[in-house]
Amino acid sequence: MTTTVKLYNEDPYLKECTSTVTGIVDHGVTLDRSVFYCQGGGQPGDTGVLVLPNGSTKKIVNTISQRETGAHLHVLDEEEALPEVGAEVTARIDWERRYGFMRMHSCMHMLCAVIDAPVTGGSVSEGRARLDFDLPEPIDKEAVTDALNKLIQQDQPRHFRWITDEELQSQPELVRTMSVSPPMGHGEVRLVEFEQIDLQPCGGTHVSRSGEIGEVRVSKIEKKGKQNRRVIVEFA
């Protein structure tokens, strides 16, 4: 199984690329390189299309890591005929959907900076996202909304930086999520930094400046169990 070069790790703004089909697994296609984000770290897999040499398009309904092999699988609609191995295709993501995930995922990093408590879970979905905190005391919805929008308005630049697994292990304070472990095991981990706001290892896709997130609001804070609070954020 050849590995897929994940182009979005360096440039999350790439909307399409040309790729070669390297394999067919179940109802999925593997490519030599891809702009499709693979579901993980609380962020959904990308959807979009593959454009074949004859101009026909195949719909991609999800992008997942195959459990047995770890292959980066572009999952086709059940109905779709599979392209041939070796075919040159254009892989194009549903950009509007992905850009929403980028804005929301970056917003969750702002939320980490606002609420000083360990994160126990979280996920990003269309138009909203949530993080769960290990936090016994109640927090004020309006205060969190205000603090979030202040950080967003600062319009701080985002940087990616790669460090080795060993370097990360020697700085455990960088890891904010207890439930979602950082993407280790490849030798290197990517750090996502929003200048003066937040720094943490993360494999997700992020906007290049915090201002791109736009105005948001905390729609709900739920108490989950004895000391967990779930904070749900939506675009305002």
Give the footprint of Zn ion on this chain (CB under 5 A): 202, 204
Contact between 164 and 170 under an 8 Å Cβ cutoff? The reply is no
111/202 with CB nearer Zn ion: 202
Q: Which residue lies nearer to Zn ion by CB, 48 or 204?
A: 204
CB atoms within 10 A of CB 137: 7
Nearer to Zn ion, 17 or 202 (CB): 202
Helix axes 141-153, 95-114, angle to 10 degrees: 110
Q: How far is the CB of 105 from Zn ion (least distance, A)?
A: 6
Q: Cβ closer to Zn ion: 113 or 202? A: 202
Task: Answer for the pair 156, 207: CB distance below 8 angstroms, yes or no.
Answer: no
Which residue type sits at 229? R
Q: Centre a 10 Å sphere on the Cβ of residue 224 and count the other Cβ atoms it contains.
A: 12
User: Which CB atom, from 58 or from 206, has the smaller least distance to Zn ion?
Assistant: 206
Q: Which residue is nearest to Zn ion (CB)?
A: 202
Shortest separation between residue 108's beta carbon and Zn ion, angstroms: 6
- Burial of residue 54 (CB within 10 Å: 0-12, 13-18, 19+) is exposed
Minimal distance in Å, beta carbon 104 to Zn ion? 10
Min dist CB 39 to Zn ion, Å, is 14
Angle ∠(144,216,162) on CA atoms, nearest 5: 85
Residue 203 beta carbon to Zn ion: minimum distance, rounded to whole angstroms: 8
